[in-house]
Structure 1
Amino acid sequence: MRANTEAAIRISRTAAEYSWGQWPIADVDELAPFCALVGWRIGKNETNRWLETDLDPGSHTGLVHSWTGGVVGLSVTVTDVADPEHMSMALRPPTIDCFAELAEALTGTLGDAVEYRPGWEARIGWHLPRVGIQLTISPQSIQLGLVDPRRVTSPHTPEESR
């Protein structure tokens, strides 16, 4: 599995410094200035909103997560995506190693994380003043999420997660 560590760091650093305003974000169009800073566009039709990215490797689309009251988060894939028809347990160790490398790089950029969720769908998160940043592993890829900082929880300390 290959990761775009430079892009993950750039996006995280930009998100940490960006003036997000009030979460949840009432109108998806309010995200346009941030998207422009990181090279994304907002795609939309009558019922859906998504992100169009230039991230390689990985998917060139991201998700806009909405809840009552507006946008509560964004997520993009920062690794290549495994073909679900050819996935096996043999792919799991490289995915976990890639997740660990990305987590280490983001910790070096953002400081110590406050959220640790071990396991099959592990997650590590940073609660910053303006935005929460989460790195999540799935069976097929690794996603970087930018969320309402109130959505970053701390169910485990690093020691409890081992």
Structure 2
Amino acid sequence: MSQQAQPAVSTPPAPGPKEKDGRTAQRPLALRVLARPDVGVFLGAVAVYVFFLVAAPPVREASSMANILYQSSTIGIMALPVALLMIGGEFDLSAGVAVITSALTAAMLSYQLTLNVWVGVIVALVVSLAIGFLNGWLVVKTGLPSFLITLGSFLILQG
């Protein structure tokens, strides 16, 4: 009988810090911040702001900045909800016409019916909410693409 050498029993290594592979490696903070899409937009806005501060000295005045912010607000108020819809995968073609319908409702109630301006504003808000509710309800109940529903609303409101 020959005795064969038995392999030595190896003991598992002592638990230590986990090895990190490429998938779970922690990226530096600067790369994580720059990878966010909102940071790129912010840096672009800062670059445009700095460009106009240098190129157009009247932009440095407070009255000019108030005018710029006022004009930006009229675009931003519409851009935010439309952007949120697009992020959600939907599309609203009737947004511009709904704004005009709301403004016309407020103006007609205030001027032609000689009601208080605030009554016109409140009724215009209710009309806008009704348009949005109807569009959303039709998209959910019919299952049609929001593009078609809001195109129909666009044509109805335009008429």
- Interval containing the TM-score (normalised by the shorter chain): under 0.3
Bigger helix share: 2
- Greater relative contact order, per chain length (Cα 8 Å cut-off, separation 6+): 1
Determine which structure has more spread, i.e. the larger CA radius of gyration. 2
TM-score normalized with structure 2 length: 0.22
Decide which structure has greater strand share. Answer: 1
Provide TM-score, normalisation by structure 1: 0.21
